[in-house]
Every structure is written in structure tokens, then in C-alpha cells.
Amino acid sequence: MNKVVTFGEIMLRLSTERHLRFGQSQRFNATYGGGEFNVAVSLANYGVAAEFVTRLPDNEIGQCALKEIRKMNVDSQNVIFGGDRLGIYFLETGAGNRGSNVVYDRANSAIATIEKGAFNWEKIFEGKTWFHWSGITAAISENAAAECLIAIQTAHRLGLTISCDLNYRSKLWKYGKQPKEVMPEMLQYCNVILGDIDTAYFMLGLEKVDPDYTNEALLHDYYSKLLNHCPDLKIAATTLRYSVSASHQRIGGILFDGNKIYKAVVKEVTPVVDRVGTGDAFMGGLVYSLIVTPNDLQRTVDFAVAACCLKHTIVGDYNLATLEEIENIVNGDASGKVSR
């Protein structure tokens, strides 16, 4: 049986209600999430054993995050406590021509200030088959990046499949290093990478590119080069997003296995209930499908896209769409009929 470990940050998300702007809000909805945790929740929802590893502050807010992990049926047995605070981000939900707005307040979080060797990765990975991390952990602090590298190396040594969501956020590389100084070493052990081609090239220190995702031949070359630079890479995937407005997105996806390009049909997503975490939902769908239907890559990309689409209708950071709902869309029914 497959058991997946994800490692990273879980934050308190404070979002305004009813499309209110920050300056109008007298209350915030409080939820908890973060890229790698969101992937673990997706997997747990789909029936795959998932564990999330992080450090939480030893205060009531840290306990709230722990309760959320437990509630979502994600294993928290290796979560440790320490540091000063839980990272926070504020979210103002946009509509129409007004985009959503995120204000980060995540500096000096418990996971960002982690000390090297805080986790016993050998023990954590015992009996596990898959390790997932993301570029965010590499970006928040030197300490977090270092710990993540140890995790990756250990996972590699122990034979786990390793996946990464590149998740480049320029605002987060503030600790004095560039992605290309950090990421290549981390990515060399990866088997599955999700990200835009230009982001991947940038993080690997390759020349800047601006790929045309409708040109299949070109894509083949671009992805091939990516695989060449990451010796263990087997699968490269990209979420295609066309933003008509904050309330209307069009979502597709591409997957390359070294031989062939698999493309999912672009789907209309309107209205957008919650834009955040939709990439994580794609990632969760990708890992799930690679685990349960490893030989049907077309279904894999279709599943990831369907999961991503449905996440847009769900409040909060992580995806609560059910397997059945996703499969209905994979099978062509996106009509949103009432179930009764």
C-alpha cells in the first residue's frame, strides 16, 4: 500500500467575507492551509494514506493547525513543536476584473526558523513510498531549504518516489540565495515535477524561455531538455491556466513522460469560489493518479485537471472534491446536477 509524506508549511489564512476589501472587514474567516499540506489532504480524501511533516509553534494557534491536520485524516505523528509563530496570510477575494489579493505575514514562522536535523527522516520515511515537497519550502528560509534537501536525499536513498511542485513565488526568495543556487541540487532527485516550463528553466539556471503550450513539437523539446537536466525525472507536468477574469478561469494541463505529450481538454471554470490552492489540487490529483493508475497517463492529466477545476468551487486552501465528483468530470459530465 502506498503511503505518502509531504513536508512544508501550514499557515493560518485570514480571509474577508463576501468579497469585502480588507479595509471593510470587521471579521476574518480563519482556515489553515499550505501547498504541501493541501496535497496531503487531497490524497487522504482519495483514500491514500498521507502524512504531513512540519513544525508548529507551541501555542494555541499551533494547536489549531494541528487540529486541522487531524480533522482531515492526515497523519501528524511526526509534527514537532517549537519556534515562535504560525505563518499567516491575509486573503481578499476578488471578483470580475478585480483580482484576489494576498498579504503575506509568514516571516519567522516555526518552520522557517527550523534548525537543521530537527526531523529524523530515516524514521519518518519508514514504510513510506512517496515524498512530496515544493519550491515554497526552498524559498522561505535557508534553514527550511536545508532541511528539505536532507529529506529529499534521505527519501532518494530509501527509494521513495519524489515529487515537487515548483511553485515559484518571487516574494519569497528573500534570504540571499537565488533559486538556481538552491533548486538544481534539490530537483536532481525528483521523479515528478509540476510547473511551468519557464519556471523550471529559471530554477535550473537554464536560458529564459517563453513556451507556446499549443505547439506540441516544441513542447516535446522543452520538456525533454528538462528531463535531461534532472537525471531521475520521469514525469513533467504543467497546469495551463487562462484567466478570463477573477471569476472565470479556463483550466487545462499537459504531461510529458519522456516520450509523449498528454494534454487535457481545457475546461471552463465559472464562477470561481476560491482561487487559492487550485494548483495544489492539480498536484494532488497528479500524485494520486500516478499512484493508482500509473499506466494511464492520459487519465492522469485529465484527473489532475478535473481536480483543479473542482477546487475552484471549494472554500479554503485544500480540495474537498470527492473521487466520485472528479471522476464524473473526467468522464465528461460537468453539468453540476443536483444530487438528491
Task: Between 178 and 270, name the residue whose CB sits nearer to a second copy.
Answer: 270
CB atoms within 10 A of CB 213: 17
d(CA 155, CA 244): 40
**CB distance 11 to 109 below 8 Å:** yes
Shortest gap between Cβ of 27 and a second copy (angstroms)?
Answer: 5
Task: Between 154 and 277, name the residue whose CB sits nearer to a second copy.
Answer: 277
DSSP string computed for 171-212:
GG--SS--HHHHHHHHHTT-SEEES-HHHHHHHHTPPP----
**CB distance 8 to 54 below 8 Å:** yes
- Residue 15 cell numbers, joined: 480571509
Task: Between 48 and 162, name the residue whose CB sits nearer to a second copy.
Answer: 48
Shortest gap between Cβ of 182 and a second copy (angstroms)?
Answer: 21
**CB distance 129 to 290 below 8 Å:** no
Task: Between 83 and 211, name the residue whose CB sits nearer to a second copy.
Answer: 83
Shortest gap between Cβ of 324 and a second copy (angstroms)?
Answer: 11
- Residue 235 cell numbers, joined: 514525469
Task: Between 185 and 273, name the residue whose CB sits nearer to a second copy.
Answer: 273
Shortest gap between Cβ of 173 and a second copy (angstroms)?
Answer: 14
Shortest gap between Cβ of 216 and a second copy (angstroms)?
Answer: 25
Task: Between 129 and 328, name the residue whose CB sits nearer to a second copy.
Answer: 328
Greatest pairwise CA separation for the chain in angstroms:
56
Please work out, in degrees rounded to the nearest 5, the angle formed at the alpha carbon of residue 139 by the alpha carbons of 137 and 145.
Answer: 55
Shortest gap between Cβ of 243 and a second copy (angstroms)?
Answer: 4
**CB distance 6 to 50 below 8 Å:** yes
Task: Between 76 and 191, name the residue whose CB sits nearer to a second copy.
Answer: 76
Task: Between 113 and 154, name the residue whose CB sits nearer to a second copy.
Answer: 113
Q: Around 105, how many Cα atoms within 13 Å sit in the side-chain half-sphere?
A: 10
Give first-to-last CA distance, the chain, whole Å. Answer: 34
d(CA 281, CA 99): 20
Shortest gap between Cβ of 73 and a second copy (angstroms)?
Answer: 6
Shortest gap between Cβ of 249 and a second copy (angstroms)?
Answer: 9
Q: 222 vs 201, 227, 231, CA distance in Å?
A: 9, 9, 15
